[in-house]
Amino acid sequence: MGLIVKEFGGTAVGDLDRIRNVANRIVKTYTAGNNVVVILSAMAGITDGLIDMAHKITPSPDKREMDVLLATGEQTSAALLSITLMSMGYPASSLLGHQAGVMTNCAFGDARIVDVGASRIKEYINNRRIVIVAGFQGCDEEGNITTLGRGGSDTSAVAIAAAIDADSCEIYTDVDGIYTADPNICEKARKMNKVSFDEMLEMASLGAKVLQIRSVELAKKYNVPIHVRSSFNEEEGTMVMDVDSDMESPVVSGVTHNKNEARITIKTVPDQPGIASKIFSAIAEAGILVDMIIQSSPTDNLNDLSFTVPKKDFKEAMKIGKRVGSEIGAKDVLGEDSVAKVSVTGVGMKSHHGVAAKMFTALANENINISMISTSEIRISCVIEEKYAELAVRALHSAFGLDKEE
C-alpha cells in the first residue's frame, strides 16, 4: 500500500464535471489500496476574481484581509471535492491549511512554510479516509490565515508530501508535463521525461509558472521527486528529480519568458559611492524584489541606472524611485511596464561559448531590440518589448535546435 499525494491545479477543478473527474481519478488510486492525500487549488479564475473584487473597493486592500479573502477559493474547492467523494460512497474529509498543520511566517500574500504538523492528516489516513487539503494557505503563529503567493498550492503539495513521507507527489495541471518552452505559445516545444531540480529551479525563477519556484526549492531540499502530469489524460508526465545532468546534455535545454516584470530607469545620477545603496535600500525596505540591475559606465561623472521589479510592485517602486531620485539629484525617473524577459537556460552552457552571441543574433534576425541583458553560468536573459515575447521564445527555441521534429 502506498501513500500518494496528488495536487490538482485550478483548471482541473474548474467546474463540477471536472471535480467529478478528479474524484474518479482519486478513487482509482484509493481502491487500488493506496492512501491518498489531495491538495487542491481554487477553481480556475476564482483567485483572480477575488483579487479584482477587492481592488474595486480600494487600490491597496489590507494584506491580512486579502489572505482571509483569497483562502476562501481553496476552501470552496476542497469542500466540493469532499462532498463529491462522499456522495460516491467514499470516506473523505477536507482540511483547511491550519487544520492540516501548515504553519507559516506572517508575510501575508507571500508567506513561507515553516512547519507542517500533519497530525490530523495522519490520523485520517490511518482510518483510511481520503484527505483533501486546501492548498495555497496556512496560518502564522498568531493564528492569522496566510497565503503562499500565486501558484502556492504546488508548494503546499510538496511540503505536505515531505511532512508525511509520501511515496509519490503528483502535480496535475493543464499540460502534459514540463516542456522545453511554454507549449501554449511554442507549438514546437518538446515534452521532457526528466528535469533536474536545478534546471527546474532556473526555469521556474525565469517565468515557467507550471511549478511555483518554492515548491521546487522544497522538493530539492527534502528530495521529493515531483511527477508533473495532465489532469485530462493518463499519460506519463515529467519527473522533476535529482538527476545528474550528464556531459551529453544540450547546451540550451529550455526557453522561458516572463511578462510580470517592469523596468525603471533613474537618469543621470552622480557617479559616487552610496548612490546605488540609497536607491536599492529604499526599494528593499518596501519589500520589493529587484531582479536585473544595469548601470551604464560613467560619462562626465554621471550614470544611468536601470532595474526591473515585479509588475505588481511597479507603481510603488516608481514612487520610491522618484523620491530617492530627487534626493540624489537624478535628472529624471522613467518607467516602462510593457516589457518581458526572455531567457535561455541549460547546464550545458557552462562548457560552451557563443551562446550569448547566438541568442542576440536570433533576436536581431526578428528585429527585436534588447534593452537589458543578464547572464549566469547556466542562463542568459534579455529584456525586450512585451509584444515580442512570444515571437522571441519561438525564435530562440528554433535557433537552439529545440524544435520537435515534424
Q: Kindly state the cell numbers that stand for 103.
A: 504553519
**Contacts with ligand ADP, residue ranges (CB under 6 A):** 9-11, 41, 151, 173-175, 178-179, 181-184, 203, 208-210
Contact present, 75 and 96 (Cβ < 8 Å) = yes
Q: Cα separation of 171 and 156, whole Å? A: 11
Query: Which of the choices ligand ASP, ligand ADP, Mg ion, none does residue 136 contact, using the CB cut-off of 5 to 8 A by kind?
Result: ligand ASP
At closest approach, how far in Å is the CB of 209 from ligand ADP? 5
CB of 73 to ligand ASP, least distance (A): 5
Nearer to Mg ion, 44 or 181 (CB): 44
Distances (CA, A) of 85 to 80, 132, 161, 237, 279: 9, 10, 21, 25, 54
Query: How wide is the angle at C-alpha 367 spanned by C-alphas 365 and 371, nearest 5°?
Result: 115
- Residue 278 amino acid letter: K
Min dist CB 147 to ligand ADP, Å, is: 14
φ, ψ of residue 69 to 5 degrees: the values are -65, -50
**Contact region with ligand ASP (CB under 6 A), list: 29-37, 39-47, 230-238, 360-368:** 39-47
Give the per-residue contact string, 313-352, with Mg ion (x = CB under 5 A; - = no): ----------------------------------------
Query: In which residue are the cell numbers 499540460 written?
Result: 175
Cβ-based nearer residue to ligand ADP, 72 or 105:
72
CA 361/CA 355 separation, integer angstroms = 10
Contact of 301 with 350, CB cutoff 8 Å: no
Q: Is 151 in the site for Mg ion (CB under 5 A)?
A: yes
Residue type, 301: N
Phi, psi of 193 (to 5 degrees): -75, -35
Q: What is the DSSP letter of 121?
A: H
- In our burial notation (b when 16+ CB lie closer than 10 A, e otherwise), range 116-145 reads bebeebbebbeeebbbbbbbbbbbbeeebb
Sites for Mg ion among residues 218-277 (CB under 5 A): none
In contact, 197 and 31? CB cutoff 8 Å: no
Tell whether residue 9 is a contact of Mg ion (CB under 5 A): yes
Tell me if 283 sits within 8 A of 290, measured CB to CB: yes
- Pick what 138 binds: ligand ADP, ligand ASP, Mg ion, none; C-beta below 5 to 8 Å, kind-dependent: none
Candidates 152-160, 196-204, 258-266, 340-348: pick the segment binding ligand ASP (CB under 6 A). 152-160
Contacts with ligand ASP by CB under 6 A: the residue count is: 13
325 binds, among Mg ion, ligand ADP, ligand ASP, none (CB under 5 to 8 A by kind): none
Part of the chain binding ligand ASP (CB under 6 A), chosen from 148-156, 247-255, 301-309, 331-339: 148-156
Nearest distance from C-beta of residue 341 to ligand ADP, angstroms: 13
Which residue, 47 or 381, is less far from Mg ion as judged by CB? Answer: 47
Which among 2-10, 42-50, 295-303, 370-378 is the span making contact with Mg ion, rule CB under 5 A? Answer: 2-10
Starting at the edge strand that comes first in sequence, how are the strands of the sheet with 379-385 ordered?
Answer: 254-258, 339-345, 379-385, 372-376
Q: Please report, as ranges, the residues that interact with ligand ASP according to CB under 6 A.
A: 9-10, 41-42, 47, 73, 135-136, 150-154
Q: Please report, as ranges, the residues that interact with Mg ion according to CB under 5 A.
A: 9, 151
